[in-house]
A and B are shown apart, each in its own frame.
Chain A
Amino acid sequence: MSTSSVSKGCFVFKPSAKKKKQLSLEDHFTDGCEGAENSEVRFKLCQLLWERIKTDTEVLQDELNRKVLDSLLDLTRKCSSTRQHSDWASKMRASEIPTAALVLGVNVPDHDMTFQSLSEQLQQSVTPHVASVQAKECGTLKHLMKRVLEKLTGTDVAVDDDEEEEEAEQTSAPLLKGTHCSLGTLCDWYNTKRKKSSSGTPGKKRSSPAKDEQQQPPVVIIFKDLEAFNPRVLQSFILICSLYIERLPLMFIFGIATSPSTIQHMLPHSVSSLLCIELFQSLSCTQHLATVIDKFILTHQFPFKLNGKVMQVLISIFLYHDFSVRNFIKGVQLALLEHFHSQPLSVLCCAKKEALLNVTQLSVRDLERIRQLPSFKRYVERQETEEQVRLLKDDGYLKDVCQRLIKDLRKYHKNYYPVLRCLHTLASSLPRYPLGKQIRELHLICLEKNVWENEDYQSAMKLLKMLAKEELVMLLQRCAEILQQVKSKKMKNALNQLEEMLVKFKQLDTAKAAVESVPDVEESFTSPVKNLQKKTDLFQLQKTLLELNESRRSKKLSPFEVLRNEAIDFIDGLVKSHLSPPESQTLNEVCYYSSSATVRRHLNATPRTSIQAALNTPYYYIQNDSLKTEDGSVSNAAPDICIAYKLHLECGRLINLFDWLEAYATVVSGAEGNDPDSEDFGKVDQVKHARFIQAVSELEFLGFIKSTKQKTDHVARLTWGGC
């Protein structure tokens, strides 16, 4: 670009903003999207579902944390009011800083949301003065002090943020010019603020201004991650605060990730004695996850579904790696996006009415796609030949069938979840939890294959047939409660049957009372046992035991047992008719996202594996046909680093650089097409030398080798295993 300037110099040209068209989210979505014609609709559906997830999770989190937050709010209110009281006990306690230790669990990424809603609620209902600080921005006492002052004294500081970065090292911060960052300044600020608010503006935002004026709103400082703070910084900060506690109604909230005893580890007695600590425990993250799964996964109202493998990936990331519900939801979001992005038929993944409407608007290509779906193919195979032809030729007919199938799929979901819950209520009462403690485990089993073919299921059924009466009745009652909430014909029928059974169980009681039954069975039953008590040899014992077993089996079942078997068989029937895996359903591809590899690759990245893959098989990334090789060897045309890597795999712990260079030169000469018999073959010229050095230093940068002092001109391998 040219300038009108005469002199030489550097000129900055800012790119004009208009030229570059800002790509919207939708454009990104459509870009490279499979089946672009209905991408708009899919994008909208996707957005809609994501919005729903987002708002619902927020509401959910608020609900779950309500108890803890409410008690925290109570504490702050109390501490601001007790300060006013002058009874003996609170006077004796006046020098202590009220502190809440909030134990949140190790899922640190989730805490942000909790703290945000906490500070919002505090600001709304208790005090306008809330500052929350994080360890990473408060390395030293000075910075901590500055942060606290900035956050409390208001927004005008935040404006010249850039300036502050430069001046961070200097002692006096730009806020409140001329004065230093100390709690003294904060005290003055607080007093003027109070005076102002009490003298002027009677119509304040807060709910009860009259009440607020009498008491001082406390100044709340939230330490989001206590463990990460430098203990010395924290100690001196608390010491300073305690000097001002008489003038400034301070209060702390510690966010603790591990256990409350960290407070004792971090603060010596001289400091912790200045605090009046109260403990709060939030809900555990596994419970949180359970509610989230309950809300989004185990319901027919949410059209988007995850298949078993994807669920497994997401849940194992949660359990094995981070315990973070937020990351779990992010994973669901990723799957959602991928699904709508890559599956053109996902237009049908929405509420019933919309889906039926969308079926009518399917294009010819989409219909062809439907015919290609494996589940649909299977469906077609099951039909009569005439029907098959119609399905494959007649588009209009296909649309009708699709509508029916979509309805069927919905019905399947409608029945699936209640039955799943029923089965879980029954199975979770059994010892050793044969079908899993959590409902999500059972769900995973059901997603994978027919649950009734599972060994654990069969053993669970056997165990269920041994339940005592009270327990069984109670469990069945709970099942009935679950079924009651469902509006579907089949479930209504099931409910009726179940209730009939429950009535029968009750009648059994009265019947039993009337007739003192089965004394004769008792009789025959006890006789072999009596025989047992006699001294017998081993053979005899075995025989009698066998007999005993036989007699028990042939024993006439009591009415309760008959009924029990009936009930369990009924449940078994329900399971068999409704809990078949989704893969067996036609058109399941519309709703189910199944690419677990994508999810895993995105969420649980393996940098080392991908580096090694790149070095071993460069074709994988470069996609150059000349690099294609069989049997895992590297072609000699591969990038230098790949060749060097491959060669180094053949070495032991220490690599002689010269040998390595020789081998490299041989391989590269082969690639150049030199005659293997000529004299120059395998000779090291300067270019090859330089290329080799570069490859080696790249390998060093990637962490495969390092220089060693054990031997000159050797390098040490840092990975083990050969080729």
Chain B
Amino acid sequence: MSALSQHPGYEEEKLQRVREQLPCRENQAGLLLSLLGQPQQYSYPSIFIYGHRASGKSHVMQVLLKELELPHATVSCVECVSNSLLFEQVLLSLFGCEAAAMLTRKPSLSDFVRIYRHQCSQSPATQTRYIVMEKAELLRDADANLLPALLRLQELVEDNVTVILLSEISWDKFRPNTGCFEPLLLHFPDYSKGELQQILSQDRHPSYSAEFYSSYVNILLGVFFSVCRDLRELRHLAALNFSKFCEPLAEGKVKETDTHKLWRNIEPHLKKAMQTVYLREVSSLQWEQMQQMEEKEAGALRGLSAHTHVELPYYSKFLLIAAYLASYNPARADKRFFLKHAGKIKKTNFLKKNEKTSNHLLGPKPFPLDRLLAIFYSVVDSRVAPTASIFSQISSLVTLQLLSQVSHDDQLDAPKYKCAVSLDFIRAISRTVNFEIVKYLYDFL
């Protein structure tokens, strides 16, 4: 608690408010504040903050900058598809829309620096200005000069400005080949169980007492903490299951204080939720409906992954089967499977060393179009004319993402594909056309 209490230059009252909004992150916030120094002082040019998802990076930054009323610009790098968007947003929030309007159509970095300087000379900084870049890992994909320039923006624009980068990835993965200014690194560690409990207890239901909700959170964490430490996911789970937890209360069977009975009531539901943790199988709305009808017809509503059955036209099924065979069988084995009177080739002598490992472990291999068609014609039981729609089915299988094209779209000559479906899927498909795929798979000989 002491970490946030004394910082010269900031009002005690504001600090108090910050403290209230940042449970379990006082240490980090305090450290950050001492790095930033007093508002009018120059601060370190760039700070890099990293930590896992939902470890409070953006939250801490936002609360600090807002509550302490520091001039700042917050930019999310996902949104900035181009540099110009990024520059515009920074200028907009630091200097207002006139500055942003000065940007040319396709501004370069030096344009940005020039305008920044110009603006800065008109309204010199009395306090440190902050630029917060969220999801900074995307900056690596931007222009090569952008990240190094941002890191030493303070020098470039000769202004009291600090760039703060937030990322889930550690700095080692950022460092460009050409070298750059090293920012100050700050790590946000994961929340501990106690801390999670404290944070989760904060969003309590208004019609129940705080103790009641925190005992609920306690139960929830007891079940889920071992598999899931993501605050966001936990919060989602808490919201999902709370109504069920309260059910006996509403019916008047149990008192709020009777934790044991409540636990006995909720436990099976939590166990069930455990199976689908992270999957978001059903929406939270549907989950609630499911909880309500439960015993009657629980089978009616199923999760996303329960629906794997795909209906395909007859020849598409065979094309997919052929593609699967082409992807998972070595090309040299085709003779054995699809030629009459080919005789049996012994597996061990037949193959090179690297082919002895299961093809299903290695994943699908690319195959050319003509091999696919050759297998298709020998697999399908009737004579099929090579019509245009056979070929269009191949490309529609690609758009359905059941096949994937390996070669480039532009390559018209001998395109290559990979089969992108699982064994279970293809088995289900081949069962519908009475084709025993396992007999044709090299791995299952």
Contacts and interface: CB of A to CB of B under 8 A. Distances in A.
Interface string A109-149: 00000000000000000000000000100001110010000
A239 interface: yes
Interface string A261-300: 1111100011011011111010011100000000000000
Contacts of A99: 283
Nearest to A93: B284
Contacts of B313: 106, 318-323
A6 interface: no
Contact of B400 (A89, A92, A171, A257): A257
A106 B81 contact: no
Interface residues of A, number: 68
B105 A321 contact: no
Interface in B362-406: 370, 385-390, 393, 396, 399-402
Contacts, number: 159
Of B206, B236, B283, chain A has the most CB atoms within 10 Å of the CB of B283
Given A88-B206, A182-B79, A278 B286 contact: yes
Given A92-B239, A106-B400, A604-B388, A279 B82 contact: no
A261 B279 CA distance: 10
Nearest to A275: B280
Contact of B280 (A105, A269, A321, A606): A269
Contacts of B280: 269, 272-273, 275, 277
B283 A277 contact: yes
A180 B106 contact: no
Given A170-B105, A261-B305, A609-B385, A227 B243 contact: no
Contact of A106 (B282, B310, B388): B310
A589 interface: no
B275 interface: no
A180 B314 contact: no
B243 A261 contact: no
Interface in B295-320: 304-305, 307-316
A639 interface: no
Contacts of A264: 279, 304-305
A178 interface: yes
Of A106, A183, A262, chain B has the most CB atoms within 10 Å of the CB of A106
B239 A93 contact: yes
A259 B396 CA distance: 15
Interface in A69-121: 88-89, 92-93, 96, 98-99, 101, 103, 105-106, 108
How many B residues are at the interface, by size bracket? Answer: 35 or more
A317 interface: yes
Contacts of A285: 311
A260 B399 contact: no
Contact of A171 (B82, B283, B370, B413): B82
Contact of B285 (A106, A236, A243, A278): A278
A171 B106 contact: yes
A706 B370 CA distance: 14
Interface in B85-143: 85, 88, 101, 105-106
B315 to A, nearest CB: 5
A282 to B, nearest CB: 12
A225 interface: yes
Contact of B81 (A141, A317, A605, A718): A141
Given A182-B79, A240-B79, A243-B79, A259 B308 contact: yes
Contact of B235 (A92, A172, A239, A279): A92
Given A88-B206, A264-B279, A277-B283, A180 B400 contact: no
A258 B81 contact: no
Given A170-B105, A278-B285, A284 B311 contact: yes
A59 interface: no
A259 B207 CA distance: 41
Nearest to A269: B278
Contacts of A278: 282-283, 285-286
A265 B310 contact: no
B431 interface: no
Contacts of A605: 387-389
B203 interface: yes
8 contacts: A101-B304, A258-B310, A269-B280, A279-B282, A279-B304, A321-B316, A605-B389, A609-B386
Ranked 6 nearest A-B pairs via Cβ: A92-B239, A260-B304, A276-B283, A320-B314, A321-B389, A605-B388
Given A98-B283, A171-B105, A273-B278, 19 more contacts: A89-B242, A101-B304, A140-B81, A171-B82, A172-B105, A239-B78, A259-B309, A260-B305, A272-B280, A275-B280, A278-B285, A317-B389, A320-B315, A323-B312, A604-B388, A604-B389, A606-B386, A607-B388, A609-B386
